[in-house]
Structure 1
Amino acid sequence: MRVLLTGGSGFIAAHVLDILLQQGHSVVTTVRSQEKASKIAENHKQVGKDKLDFAIVEDIAQEGAFDKAVVSDPPFEAVIHTASPFHFNVTDVQKELLDPAIIGTTGILKSIKKSAPSVKRVVITSSFASIVNPYKGTWPEHTYSEADWNPISAEQAVENPANGYRASKTFAEKAAWEFVEQEKPNFSIATMCPPLVLGPIVHYLNSLDALNTSNQRIRDIMMGKAKDEIPATGTFIWVDVRDLALCHVLAIEKEEAANKRFFITTGYFSNREIADIISKNFPQYKDGLPSSSTPGGEYPKEGIFKVDNSNVVKTLGVKFRNLDDSITDTVKSLQAVGA
């Protein structure tokens, strides 16, 4: 299948790219600069230009940003849209978080409808942020599934960057579903809603300082930052990046994924469990790691919401990796870049 992958140098997309190539698909990936394209090409030397090529899209929030990228010979049959702008130092939530996320998502759908009639399936990376109800806390009596939507309002969205991030994911995903409903394009969509994404980094794109937010906690625990107190876990559910990437690819390959939302999670974890796994498998870090009496990093005493990932298992047929394997592989990948 000929596939356009956006945001190819991102943490999730780099793994999606590997799986697409392994499965024999032919890929064009968008990146923000020639330098990033060269880095990716350099690390897939064995792959010819017919199987891996690049399109430069500097700013996905620009009107018509993807107009050129969606045109290909041979034409694309599927698009996997992982690109989403995200900075922490936000001064204007509307301009820096909400607009780029929503315009980036509806923009690519418009470009596909206008210029790539051969595309039959578009997979969009959304987030558990568009499912969770942040106002309910740990909500032990509730089971989260694809039926849930974050109830955040436009007014709440601009109150602070954390709200802005959650709202950007929620509004962008809603905009995608509305687009399909109103525009009735040639393609169906599938949205991927993962919580915390852990798992090995792609070494050629990452340094220890440039990790995705989720993996920073593993680096910090390895480096002794949790020795005296383990930080609060925050979101207690996770997925390994390789399983998430596989779900993206399966969602373009399987007919039955059409117009479905997928809540992609393996289940639960805590920061204490991460510390215990590192301690068990990497004795060289022992001196800097918390002990069983170190405070923090526990599950909430009042219990925690339940999760239903049966739709993912049933429709995509994915088998999830366990936390031990995921953390062990992540630590090894961090060691490879100098941890």
Structure 2
Amino acid sequence: MPTISPKDKVLVTGANGYIGLWVVQYLLERGYKVRASVRSDDKGNALKVLFKEKLPEHAANLEYVLVKDIGAEHAFDDAVKGVSGVVHIASPMTLEIEDPQELIGPAVGGTLSLLRSALSHGNDLKRLVITSSVKAVLGPEPRTYTEEDWADYAVKEVEEKGKAADKMSAYCASKLLAERAAWTFIEEHKPSWDIAVLNVGWVYGPTVNDPASPAALPSTAGLFFQQFFTVRDEAYSYPAAQNYIDVRDLAQADIKALEVEAAGGERIIVASQWGTWQHWLNAAAELNLLPKLDKWDPKRSEGRPARVASNEKAKRILGITFRTIPETLRDTLDDFRPRGWLKEWEA
């Protein structure tokens, strides 16, 4: 399958989110034309203003298209016209739900809506990259997981317990069911274009925009600040242990998955390493980044069972060298520091 290259136009869904902004930035820097899907003109105009300030020499290559409801029929019909590639990121990311269907419906519906529009109107399309989650891969047992694994336990729990299902299981089920729906769609319709699915870890790292306060940090960037500096209680620490990915590595992986021919038709785990919050605290202590930060117990995570997501396939196919916890931590704190958010923990 022919892949895309700079000067082509790429649609990015969820473009004004935490991950989407990095994907847009890197695409523009590489010379791509970008069509960003957003839910309102206010969000679209804010996106254009942001990149006119950050990348004035590339800002003319950014346009936006309104997609108010990603699950609606024909939602992406206009969005996919004239694009060579798609990076699909838009999907619910919250545990504040009453019913698992609040996550599953939009996740599956949004993916299928995009694929149907691509089938009908994506005449120039070559590849569509779906940003899924490692949560669609990992089972409950501590071991190393690969792309051959599926988190079927979560779907079973949702089917059996309904609204009483664990909220994280509901999120896992939403990612798994959306991904399976995509693979089934491709098998049934055999479009002229192909897909690649990236199963990504918990996403941390700097932000592209400049949030006014820690409370305004988006998605898992906000979770990072909250857990690392505010809550400091493992009872709250979801996930207390996790496979993580630096947001910049993920954005680069999304673009590599468009460009690398061998990524077509593949399911690829994109995660840097497994760790706990204690590993992040240990890194801060070892680098002397926050002298006044409570370090908990450095031995806290010793012997903890690990559910490790293997990144060997990503390194082989996409050629990515992943940032490690100390690297992401240092850069994240350097992002926070000029905003005055770290004074309480610095010498």
Question: What TM-score do you get using the length of structure 2 for normalisation?
Answer: 0.86
CA distance in 2, matches of 1:205, 1:5: 21
The correspondence for 1:201, drawn from 189, 204, 207, is 207
Structure 1 segments unaligned to the other structure (5+ residues): none
**Mean CA deviation greater in 98-107 or 146-155:** 146-155
- Whether the 8 Å CA contact 1:157–1:164 is kept in 2: the answer is no
C-alpha distance in 1 between matches for 2:229 and 2:272: 26
Asked whether the equivalents of residues 242 and 275 of structure 2 are also in contact (C-alpha less than 8 Å), the reply is: yes
CA RMSD, 1 decimal:
2.5
Distance 1:219 1:256, change over 3 A: same
Aligned match of 1:309 in 308, 311, 314?
A: 311
Query: Contact 2:274–2:306 (CA<8 Å) still a contact in 1?
Result: no
In 1, the alpha carbon distance for the partners of 2:237 and 2:217 equals: 18
Query: What's the secondary structure of 1:236's corresponding residue?
Result: strand
Q: Distance in 2 between matches of 1:101 and 1:282?
A: 41
Q: 1:149 — aligned with what?
A: 150
Identify which of 171, 176, 186 aligns with 2:182. 176
Distance 1:322 1:270 in 2: 13
For residues 221-254 of structure 1, give each alpha carbon's deviation from its aligned partner in whole angstroms, at most 9, with x where no partner exists. Answer: 6535439999575233211110111000011111
TM-score scaled to structure 1, two decimals?
Answer: 0.88
When structure 1 is superposed on structure 2, of 325-334 and 177-186 the one drifting more is 325-334
CA contact (8 A) 1:237 1:269 kept: yes
Residues 105 and 113 from structure 1, CA distance in 2 versus in 1: closer, same or farther, beyond 3 angstroms?
same
Unaligned 5+ residue runs, structure 2? 1-7, 342-347
Q: Aligned runs of 1:1-339 on 2, under 5 Å?
A: 1-45=8-52, 46-47=56-57, 50-71=60-81, 75-94=82-101, 96-134=102-140, 136=141, 139=142, 142-151=143-152, 152-153=155-156, 155-156=159-160, 158=162, 159-204=165-210, 207-220=213-226, 223=229, 225-226=231-232, 231=237, 234-281=240-287, 285-287=290-292, 289-291=293-295, 294-295=296-297, 298-299=300-301, 301=303, 303-339=305-341
Change (3 A) 1:278 1:255: same
1:331 to partner: Cα distance: 1.5
Tell me by how many angstroms 1:217 deviates: 4.7
**Structure 2: how far apart are the matches of 1:322 and 1:80?**
25
- Tell me, in whole angstroms, the C-alpha distance in 1 between the residues paired with 2:25 and 2:286: 30
Q: Please give the per-residue CA displacement for 1:253-308, whole angstroms capped at 9, x wherever unaligned.
A: 1111100011011112221221233345565x433x223xx348833635324442
Q: 30-39 or 13-22: which moved more? A: 30-39
- Quick check: 1:197–1:239 contact (8 Å CA) kept in 2? yes
